[in-house]
Amino acid sequence: MSLERLKLTAELSPVQVTTKRVRITGASTRIRNRYTAPQGEAPDYSVANPHPNCVTISQQLTRNEGFLGKISSTNHQWFVVECPNVKGAEVMSMSRGTTGRFPGLIAAVVAVLALSSTAAVTLAGFSAQIVNNANTFSSGTMQLEETQGGTNCYSTGSGSGGSVTSSNSVTCAINKLIGTLDQVPVGTPLTTSITMKNVGNTTAALESLVFATCSAAAASDASGYVGSDTAGFCGKVDFSVGYGTKCLYPANAAAACAATPTSAGTLTGANTVGTINQASTPPMVLLAPAATQAYTFTVMLDTSATNADQGLTASQTMTWNQS
């Protein structure tokens, strides 16, 4: 805080006001003004248009002074203005009213000015600025596409591109168990190939295939001839899934899945395994953006199937996950 004293002197004719400019050396400005009225005249200055950050304190004093045996009365009026954090703006203006013996007007404007000459020293006018208007932040995309022949399913549910919901999940009609009716024990193995693709722009850290519980019910063309082994039928459907030279289920990291599946892998057994992912042996393949991976699914009715397994359909939900 710097303390500067500004003395306002007035004469009856002509009216004169003298001011002294202020140098601000700290974060706060304190200006102290005194007006001495002639004998018999009221010190009736007032502060007008103060800066909103300034606080003005006015005090009037009357003092008797003696000189060479004569007693006179002198009126003093003080203005103390506190102006914290005010730079380069008008601090206040002072005006004198018309009361008293000598009507008239005296005005003084005290301002904190920009850097000028040594006769009016103020704050330095140097400044610098950098505006960063190119700041951006964006998220990546994680999208999955499943293809079987001419059928494509996207996790967005709306094809390539489109709005992404919070679940980013879709139910796809691709049938990995082929869906061919009227299978018989030791029949022809049924095989389909599924291709998974990362259509987002973020490399996956997790890839998984989850097998839900298998259930059995009457086949759509059973014509009322439905076997009684609904509880055991899923265990009579031999099943395998793999890619290249690796069999994911039943697990075999050293060789591809057998062309003809066996009871070593069934739909019931797949549900027991539950989940196959990139940490399994062998692992699922992590997909980079635009990368693809083909998986082969094979099913066949096991030789252990009996008459109780006639006219039944096995159903099992399988879910691909990528994150």
Q: Considering the domain boundaries, does residue 119 fall inside one?
A: no
The three-state secondary structure class of 100 is coil
Report the pLDDT value the prediction gives residue 44, as an integer from 0 to 100.
Answer: 55
Query: Do 202 and 277 reside in the same domain of the chain?
Result: yes
Q: Considering the domain boundaries, does residue 134 fall inside one?
A: no
Q: What's the number of domains the chain is made of?
A: 2
Q: Considering the domain boundaries, does residue 26 fall inside one?
A: yes
CATH code where residue 11 lies: 2.60.40
Query: Do 10 and 57 reside in the same domain of the chain?
Result: yes
Query: Do 161 and 298 reside in the same domain of the chain?
Result: yes
Beta bridge partners of 4: 31
Spatial separation of the C-alpha atoms in residues 196 and 144, rounded to whole Å: 7
Could you give the maximum distance between any two Cα atoms of the chain, in Å?
A: 142
Report the pLDDT value the prediction gives residue 68, as an integer from 0 to 100.
Answer: 47
Report the pLDDT value the prediction gives residue 158, as an integer from 0 to 100.
Answer: 76
Report the pLDDT value the prediction gives residue 21, as an integer from 0 to 100.
Answer: 41
Report the pLDDT value the prediction gives residue 176, as an integer from 0 to 100.
Answer: 96
Query: Do 155 and 290 reside in the same domain of the chain?
Result: yes
Query: Do 98 and 197 reside in the same domain of the chain?
Result: no
Q: Considering the domain boundaries, does residue 123 fall inside one?
A: no
Q: Considering the domain boundaries, does residue 179 fall inside one?
A: yes
pLDDT means per 10 residues, the chain with 323 residues, are: 36 35 44 52 55 61 49 52 55 45 36 39 78 96 95 87 88 95 92 96 97 97 95 98 98 97 97 98 97 98 96 98 96
Query: Do 45 and 172 reside in the same domain of the chain?
Result: no
- Per the structure, the complete domain to which residue 80 belongs is given by 2-111
Report the pLDDT value the prediction gives residue 161, as an integer from 0 to 100.
Answer: 76
Q: Considering the domain boundaries, does residue 192 fall inside one?
A: yes
- Length of the chain equals 323
Decide if 80 contacts 4 (C-beta within 8 A): no
Examine the fold and report which residue of 70, 93, 111 is the final residue of a domain before the chain moves on. Answer: 111
Q: Considering the domain boundaries, does residue 137 fall inside one?
A: no
Using H for helix, E for strand and C for coil, what is the string for 228-278?
CCCCCHHHHEEEEEEECCEEEECCECCCCCCCCCCCCCEHHHHHHHCEEEC
